[in-house]
Amino acid sequence: MVKVIASSVRKGNVLEVDGHLCTVLSAESFFPGKGTPTTQIDMRRIADGVKVTQRYKTTEQVERAYVEDRDFTYLYQDGEQFIFMNPETFDQINVSSDVVGDAAPYLQENMAVTLSMFEDRAVAIEMPQRAVLEVVETEPVTKGQTASSSYKPAILSNGVRTAVPPHIGVGTRIVVMTADGSYVERAKD
């Protein structure tokens, strides 16, 4: 275990809190005009999946567990389990949907991801920042609306709703951020 200050904790880190290992879901620092700066950390206990929220002073020390980040390739989903393969040894690992969480819709076959391993169990996943998806449903393209700054709703091939510029039509492949599903650009392929 390593002691780190609370403000340096990031999503995906693994902390030891009250004797339990917890995966960090989000960490947000608050710097009020008056008073002590604080960091609020939302975590999920690895053992039982219970969500925990803790608030620390930003300079307070927390115990960070040593996890090993390993590269894996996503293969497929089997019910509540996601199957990943180690590209070097070809060993397969099952990861529960609790660990994958909000990243699930963006997983694509043969996508390279980083899994944080603790005692040969996956405790967190790090996705590529961007994914290429196809628009399957949106309003029709309006002629002459190329310079408009307004966005229109669209549904992507993974079922996620997002907002796209008016010139994007059904069947267009676009690049989105995997963190929040926001539109980045039209795909280059």
- Per the CB < 8 A criterion, the answer to whether 43 and 15 are in contact is yes
Give me the mean pLDDT over the 56-76 stretch.
Answer: 88
Which amino acid is located at 164 in the chain? V
For 122-155, the pLDDT digits (tens) are 888 888 888 899 999 988 876 665 555 788 899 9
Residues in the chain: 189
For 14-29, the pLDDT digits (tens) are 888 888 888 888 889 8
pLDDT at 47 over 90: no
Q: Which of 183, 180, 40 is nearest to 172 (CA)?
A: 183
- Per the CB < 8 A criterion, the answer to whether 144 and 90 are in contact is no
pLDDT at 87 over 80: yes
CA distance 57 to 29: 9
Round the average pLDDT of the chain to a whole number and report it.
86
At 174, is the pLDDT very low, low, confident or very high (cuts 50, 70, 90)? very high
Q: What share of the chain is helix, strand, coil (3-state, %, to 5)?
A: 5, 50, 40
Instruction: Specify the DSSP element, H or E, that contains 74.
Output: strand 68-78
Phi-psi region of 114 (alpha: psi -120 to 50; beta: other; left: phi over 0): beta
pLDDT at 145: 59
pLDDT at 34 over 90: no
pLDDT at 76: 92
Give me the mean pLDDT over the 44-72 stretch.
Answer: 85
For the ranges 37-41, 84-88, 149-153, the lowest mean pLDDT is seen at 149-153
Q: Which of 118, 98, 22 is nearest to 62 (CA)?
A: 22
Beta bridge pairs of residue 2: 64
Two tokens, residue 83: 């199957």
Two tokens, residue 98: 């609790």
* Residue 180 neighbours by CB under 8 Å, 6+ apart: none
pLDDT at 113: 92
